[in-house]
């Protein structure tokens, strides 16, 4: 379905970003990966699906590096047809204890980076009259939790930005939508499970059960594979007129 298209997925060396990159590659899209840590493993995993794969190590908190990444993608692949704004970090603390530099980092990586990548991707998408921008927000773009002030502010912000971009592209073949996962067992969440286990003397299993029990009625994690298939749907012709939605995949979290 996506043969000949190029998808750039930010923060795709791990977790949800990698799951979405693999799902798009299975549909034939060439992939530009981004993120820190091991890059050779994810590159090989994508390449095994028979598509072209590139990588740019832009730090998504730095606008100049985001510009360099977009230039790299255009030079190597022609243009970015599908932009997945996924890179994100978390910091957990009460508002009065929240380190200001962590606030700045979360806002920069989880929110401002999506603005920069989107503004740089839009002209070529509009010129081609086809494009997909998918923002990986969170159920925290719809509801709040204590001790996540920067994350919740950034995710509500990205849901708002999704709607603005959808309105500005409404008469074109470019769409912009957001995905709002509940808990997904990635390194970002395992850190929160570990912190709960350490603070309360619980086993990993007990901490996991309690983490799910607090928020997610299904008591199940959403998987990167499931989120990848939702991204594939947004890229399909059936979703040509799906614009500005924030689609939760959260085991009933936001329904409460």
Which one, 138 or 177, has the nearer CB to ligand NAD? 138
Contact between 15 and ligand NAD per CB under 6 A:
yes
HSE-up of residue 211 (Cα within 13 Å, Cβ side): 24
Which one, 63 or 130, has the nearer CB to ligand NAD? 63
Query: What is the C-alpha separation between 220 and 70, in angstroms, rounded?
Result: 36
> Cβ of residue 223: shortest distance to ligand NAD, in angstroms?
10
Q: Which of 180, 182, 163, 174 is nearest to 239 (CA)?
A: 174
Contact between 54 and ligand NAD per CB under 6 A:
no
Query: Per the structure block, which two tokens stand in for 236?
Result: 């399909």
Three-state SS at 144: coil
Query: Per the structure block, which two tokens stand in for 59?
Result: 């730090």
Query: What is the C-alpha separation between 184 and 122, in angstroms, rounded?
Result: 29
Which of residues 37, 50, 100, 201 is near ligand NAD by CB under 6 A? 37
Query: What is the C-alpha separation between 5 and 81, in angstroms, rounded?
Result: 6
Give me the residue label for tokens 């081609």.
128
> Cβ of residue 172: shortest distance to ligand NAD, in angstroms?
26
Draw the binding track, 168-207, toward ligand NAD (x: CB under 6 A; -: no contact): -------------x-xx-xxxx------------------
**Residue 184's beta-bridge partner residues?**
222
Which of residues 125, 136, 152, 153 is near ligand NAD by CB under 6 A? 136
Write the DSSP assignment of 48-60 as a string of letters.
TTTS-EEEE---T
Which of residues 6, 14, 27, 118 is near ligand NAD by CB under 6 A? 14
> Cβ of residue 11: shortest distance to ligand NAD, in angstroms?
3
Draw the binding track, 74-113, toward ligand NAD (x: CB under 6 A; -: no contact): ------------xxxx-------------------xx---
Q: How many residues bind ligand NAD (CB under 6 A)?
A: 29
Query: What is the C-alpha separation between 109 and 124, in angstroms, rounded?
Result: 23
Residues assigned a catalytic role:
151
* Interaction site with ligand NAD (CB under 6 A): 11-17, 34-37, 59-61, 86-89, 109-110, 136, 138, 181, 183-184, 186-189
């Amino acid at each position: 379905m996506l043969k000949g298209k190029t998808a750039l997925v930010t923060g795709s060396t791990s977790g949800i970003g990698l799951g979405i990159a693999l799902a798009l590659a299975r549909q034939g899209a060439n992939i530009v990966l981004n993120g820190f840590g091991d890059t050779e493993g994810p590159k090989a995993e994508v390449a095994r699906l028979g598509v072209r794969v590139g990588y740019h190590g832009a730090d998504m908190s730095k606008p100049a590096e985001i510009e360099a990444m977009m230039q790299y993608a255009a030079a190597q692949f022609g243009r970015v047809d599908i932009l997945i704004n996924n890179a994100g970090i978390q910091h957990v603390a009460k508002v009065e204890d929240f380190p200001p530099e962590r606030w700045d980092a979360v806002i920069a990586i989880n929110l401002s980076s999506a603005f920069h990548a989107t503004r740089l991707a839009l002209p070529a998408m509009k010129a081609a009259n086809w494009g997909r921008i998918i923002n990986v927000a969170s159920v925290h773009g719809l509801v709040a939790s204590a001790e996540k002030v920067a994350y919740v502010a950034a995710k509500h912000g990205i849901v708002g930005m999704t709607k603005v971009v959808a309105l500005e592209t409404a008469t074109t073949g470019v769409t912009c939508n957001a995905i709002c996962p509940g808990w997904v067992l990635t390194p970002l969440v395992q850190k929160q499970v570990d912190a709960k286990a350490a603070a309360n003397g619980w086993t990993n299993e007990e901490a996991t059960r309690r983490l799910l029990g607090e928020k997610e009625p299904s008591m199940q994690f959403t998987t990167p594979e499931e989120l990848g298939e939702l991204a594939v749907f947004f890229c399909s012709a059936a979703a040509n007129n799906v614009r500005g939605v924030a689609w939760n995949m959260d085991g009933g979290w936001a329904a409460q």
